């Protein structure tokens, strides 16, 4: 058991190191996210009621698009240096190794998006209720995007450009986007968001259970 934890940590730490060493993808995704969110207040003005209505949804759409830009990085370095075959052929469970890479992606891209979103929410004077709903939906929704995106990243591995990856992941992410925006709308109206939170939590549990298995299976098929 301790050996599995150690190899999980090694793969996790390696991916974190590679991401922060090659900062281009990391900076590009977050810069794209910030620019898209800030363009809308410049367009519609600083009316607080309008911002409370549109900005949370814009933050979620921007987070989805920024995540699509970063999903390609999950397996790209392994594919380029040939270590992807070693991941498949070694004696450790491939699901464990894939899970470590997915977690590293969420830590490096999902967590900064959440922090930046809440910071932008404070700057744009969003209400406390909307801020809380935004935090809950992002903390539940962004891991789902990383998990679903890992499967699509395997299927498009080796293809240059992320357009095909974005086309594949966007339809799958629609339930997350729908429940998140409904939750934020309900919060803005003073309504409870328990049902939407349960739905997102259920999707997250399902994704945690199935996505690493699907990604590992797809990886074996791609390299067979």
pLDDT at 162 (0 to 100): 59
Predicted pLDDT at 145: 92
Top pLDDT among 20 and 176 is at 176
What band does 210 get if pLDDT is binned at 50, 70 and 90? very high
Q: Which two tokens stand for residue 182?
A: 């409904």
Per-residue model confidence as pLDDT tens digits over 133-150: 999 999 999 999 999 988
Cβ contacts of residue 135 below 8 Å, gap of 6+? 114, 118
Please tell me the predicted confidence (pLDDT) of residue 11: 87
Residue in 25, 74, 7, 89 with CA at minimum distance from that of residue 211? 74
Q: Return d(Cα 51, Cα 126) in angstroms, integer.
A: 7
Above 70 in pLDDT, residue 46?
no
pLDDT, tens digit, 9 for 90 and up, residues 23-36: 777 788 888 888 88
pLDDT of 220 higher than 70: yes
The closest of 77, 102, 68, 104 to 216, measured between CA atoms, is 102
Query: pLDDT at position 57, please?
Result: 81
The confidence score (pLDDT) of residue 212 equals 92
Residue 121 burial (CB count, 10 A): 22
Average pLDDT over residues 159-180: 80
- Token readout for 195 is 């049902």
Longest dimension (CA), the chain: 59
Exposed, middle or buried: residue 104 (CB in 10 Å: 0-12, 13-18, 19+)?
buried
Asked if residue 18 has pLDDT above 90, the reply is no
Mean pLDDT of 91-101: 88
Please report the pLDDT score of residue 158 as a whole number: 65
Among candidate residues 87, 70, 103, the one with its CA nearest the CA of residue 212: 103
pLDDT at 75 > cutoff 90 = no
- Kindly report which listed range (97-101, 152-156, 201-205, 212-216) carries the lowest average pLDDT score: 152-156
Mean confidence (pLDDT) of the chain: 84
Q: Rounded to an integer, what distance in angstroms lies between the CA atom of residue 102 and that of residue 95? A: 10
- Quickly tell me which residue has 């470590």 as its tokens: 100
Residue 71, SS3?
Answer: coil
pLDDT > 60? residue 99: yes
pLDDT of residue 106: 93
pLDDT > 80? residue 114: yes
Structure tokens at 65: 């698009």
């Amino acid at each position: 058991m301790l050996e599995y934890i150690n190899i999980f940590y090694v793969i996790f730490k390696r991916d974190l190191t590679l991401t922060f060493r090659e900062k281009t993808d990391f900076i590009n995704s977050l810069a794209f996210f910030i620019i898209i969110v800030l363009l809308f207040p410049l367009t519609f003005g600083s009316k607080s009621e309008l911002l409370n209505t549109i900005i949370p949804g814009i933050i979620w759409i921007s987070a989805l698009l920024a995540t699509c830009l970063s999903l390609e990085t999950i397996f790209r370095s392994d594919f380029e240096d040939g270590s992807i075959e070693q991941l498949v052929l070694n004696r450790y469970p491939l699901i464990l190794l894939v899970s470590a890479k997915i977690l590293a992606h969420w830590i490096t891209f999902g967590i900064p998006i959440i922090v930046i979103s809440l910071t932008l929410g404070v700057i744009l004077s969003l209400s406390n209720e909307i801020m809380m709903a935004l935090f809950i939906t992002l903390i539940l929704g962004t891991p789902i995007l990383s998990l679903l995106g890992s499967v699509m990243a395997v299927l498009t591995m080796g293809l240059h450009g992320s357009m095909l990856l974005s086309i594949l992941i966007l339809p799958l992410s629609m339930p997350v986007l729908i429940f998140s925006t409904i939750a934020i709308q309900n919060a803005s109206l003073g309504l409870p968001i328990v049902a939407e939170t349960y739905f997102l939590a259920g999707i997250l549990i399902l994704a945690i259970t199935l996505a690493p298995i699907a990604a590992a299976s797809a990886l074996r098929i791609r390299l067979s």
